[in-house]
Amino acid sequence: MSEHGPGLSHPPYVAGLILAGRRVVVVGGGRVTARRLPTLLDAGAAVTVVAPALDARIAERVAAGEVAWLERGYESGDLAGAWYAMAATDRPAVNAAIAEEASLRQIFCVRADDAPLGTAWTPATGRWGETTVAVLSNRDPRHSALTRDRLMGAMSQLEPEHRPDEG
Ligand SMILES: C[C@@]1(CC(=O)O)c2cc3[nH]c(cc4nc(cc5[nH]c(cc(n2)[C@H]1CCC(=O)O)[C@@](C)(CC(=O)O)[C@@H]5CCC(=O)O)C(CC(=O)O)=C4CCC(=O)O)c(CCC(=O)O)c3CC(=O)O
Ligand SMILES: NC(=O)C1=CN([C@@H]2O[C@H](COP(=O)(O)OP(=O)(O)OC[C@H]3O[C@@H](n4cnc5c(N)ncnc54)[C@H](O)[C@@H]3O)[C@@H](O)[C@H]2O)C=CC1
């Protein structure tokens, strides 16, 4: 266990969300959102970011027309129509309000600042051809990222005929 504190009493149930064309609302435009945006866009999600200010990497995506941006603070109702949500502001009270709206609407929602109070967690992921590797631990993200890196490294050591998508 890391310094992240107690985790979950049950493991998360892993599902591959099919997000292509589906509305995903991410609240907060900082480093955490910037890190997670590429995989959401790879999945084809129709992402709206709600934040008064944006990390430069997110601003590039907005300028390219890949992401919609509401240039303001979160307001109740912003999650309407979303299939998935992320509360990733640096304000715990705001993240709590987002998670509450998500629960009322029964939208799975990651809470970046206090994970056990959310209803979904973000795995460390890697892609090998058409194969996706996803790792979750019990609230130890660096361990998850290291394990992902080891798995991806192990795949690159396999003979070509044993590699996913190449056998
Ligand atoms: C539980 C989870 C819920 C969720 O947010 O989805 C969660 C929660 C929290 N993370 C925190 C901190 C950091 N997390 C990272 C990095 C990653 N975090 C990711 C996932 C998850 N993080 C979820 C499942 C984790 C699991 O497997 O158990 C990764 C794997 C995937 C991704 O984000 O894409 C990605 C690696 C990506 C990659 O390398 O590919 C870094 C490193 C960095 O930022 O550089 C730091 C800072 C350094 C440090 O402290 O280690 C804090 C404290 C925040 C605070 O201080 O307030 C919380 C809050 C809490 O635990 O309550
Ligand atoms: N889960 C994880 O992997 C990690 C989680 N964290 C946690 O997530 C939080 C966010 O981290 P960073 O992205 O690094 O923070 P950051 O400081 O880079 O970005 C915060 C963002 O929230 C926005 N914001 C502030 N008030 C808002 C409001 N009322 N409505 C909408 N947006 C608002 C800001 O404009 C900014 O874009 C941290 O405070 C920390 O608690 C931090 C690192 C990793």
Cβ-in-10-Å burial (0-12, 13-18, 19+) of 26 comes to buried
Atom of ligand 2 nearest to the CA of 110: 1
Architecture of domain 23-117 in this structure: 3-Layer(aba) Sandwich (3.40)
Q: pLDDT tens digits for 122-151?
A: 999 999 989 999 999 999 999 999 999 999
Q: Give, for ligand 1, the residue of 39, 86, 122, 152 to mutate: max count of ligand atoms closer than 8 Å to Cβ.
A: 122
pLDDT at 56 over 80: yes
- What is the value of pTM for the model shown? 0.96
Query: Can you tell me the distance from the alpha carbon of 19 to that of 112, in angstroms, rounded to the nearest whole number?
Result: 20
Ligand with minimal distance to 53 CA: 2
Q: Report the separation in Å between the CA atom of 16 and the middle of ligand 2, taken as the mean of its atom positions.
A: 25
Q: Residue holding tokens 């715990």?
A: 92
Is residue 141 within 6 Å of ligand 1 at its C-beta? yes
Query: Can you name the residues that pair with 109 across neighbouring β-strands?
Result: 85
The string of DSSP letters for 85-134 reads EEE--S-HHHHHHHHHHHHHHT-EEEESSSGGGSSB-PPEEEEETTEEEE
Q: Do 134 and 110 contact (CB within 8 A), yes or no?
A: no
- How many CB atoms within 10 Å of residue 91? 15
Please give the backbone phi and psi of residue 155, each rounded to the nearest 5 degrees, phi first: -65, -35
Query: What are the φ and ψ backbone dihedral angles of 39, each rounded to 5 degrees?
Result: -75, -30
Binding site membership of 123 for ligand 2 (Cβ less than 6 Å): no
Say what the pLDDT of residue 158 is. 82
Bridge partners of 70, per DSSP, are 50
pLDDT tens sequence across 69-127? 999 999 999 999 999 999 999 999 999 999 999 999 999 999 999 999 999 999 999 99
Task: Report which protein residue has its CA nearest ligand 1's atom 22.
Answer: 141
**Half-sphere exposure (Cβ direction) of 120: Cα atoms closer than 13 Å:** 20
Secondary structure (3-state) at 148: helix
- At 160, is the pLDDT very low, low, confident or very high (cuts 50, 70, 90)? confident
Residue 152, ligand 2, Cβ within 6 A: no
